[in-house]
Amino acid sequence: MLLDKIEELLKEVSTLTAKSADDVEQLRLKYLSKKGEINALMGEFRNVAAEQKKAVGMKINELKQSAQNKINELKDQLETSEAQSDDIDLTRTAYPITLGTRHPLTLVKNEIIDIFARMGFTLYQGPEIDDDQHVFTMLNFAADHPARDMQDTFFIERSSTMDVTKNVLLRSHTSNDEAHYMSTHEPPIRVLCPGRVYRNEAISARAHCFFHQVEGLYVDKNVSFTDLKQVLLTFAREMFGADTKIRLRPSYFPFTEPSAEMDISCNICGGEGCGFCKHTGWVEILGCGMVDPHDLEACGIDSNVYTGYAFGMGVERIANLKYRVSDLRLFSENDTRFLREFEGA
């Protein structure tokens, strides 16, 4: 009877399967532990007749060895299977994952920064959420001046009904960085301020409620408009080509005087006139001017000793010209079909 039971267990052990490490452990406990099937056979072995003990003992050893080998085999199979298979994360992008590229605005911004860095400008980035004091008041925007309407932005907190300088808002230009920098540094100052800005605009192909700017500031003794013109000419030729021409048209900004808008010869038609430049041969790219003495004094700089110039450009505007993108909204929609067009850049 005991030999028949051993034979049944041998057949049972030979067909064992396991789907996990827990299954293997349960099989080990069932057959090889102190309370397992094989150890129970040893208790019955004491009642076997003397002439059968040798044969039965050999069968029990065979069963024990078979069970041990089978459990080790199952364990090895599971470890090999786990090593060869990858866990599937259904939330990940389907394989193969393609390499991306820098955003076109980042490409253009980095190129602008690189050009001015070679002319000695250092980088400074300030807060996107700032107070009226640095965004408007220190830059010669009077509390009731209509120039504020030109840069209508989004106000977060009205701290005082009597003092607009304490209002908290999303900056409408990166000129606030220049106010911060001039307030904490002594001339000579040659700084470049890139960043995102916000304005209360109706979103269209030509305008958005947020965009990106790069502004530059140079303050030192005997700085003139001639210096500004030469720096901007150098930038235009580095960015758009050595044959690029510039022209400066009188304009108005509260924080510069005199002020100018700068146009470049259309890089699409070469200045001959086309639909892009409205057949004028010129395209506007930035505003500039000499820093108003009020701004210098408001930031603690003696306007009788120091002068300076400032300029500011929209990164989207430069990207439009460089890559001929007709709709400003494409830059923020994250359409990968559009972004893949810049892999070569």
List the binding residues for Mg(2+).
Answer: 257
Residue 313 and residue 213 in contact, taking contact as beta carbons nearer than 8 Å: yes
HEC sequence for 314-335: EHHHHHHHHHCCCCHHHHCCCC
Look at the chain and count its residues. Answer: 345
Q: What's the rounded Cα separation, in Å, for the pair 188 and 212?
A: 26
Closest to 26 measured CA to CA, from 74, 79, 85, 82: 74
Q: Which residues are annotated as a binding site?
A: 257
Place of tokens 């800005």: 197
Asked if 76 and 21 touch (Cβ cutoff 8 Å), the reply is no
From the list 238, 240, 287, 263, the residue with the least C-alpha distance to 115 is: 238
Which CA distances in Å does 284 have to 82, 166, 261, 326, 331?
Answer: 63, 34, 7, 15, 20
Radius of gyration of the chain (CA): 39
Q: Residue 102: which of 286, 312, 317, 319 has the closest Cα?
A: 319
Q: Parallel, antiparallel, or unpaired for β 282-291 and 256-265? A: antiparallel
Nearest to 255, CA basis, from 194, 320, 306, 299? 299
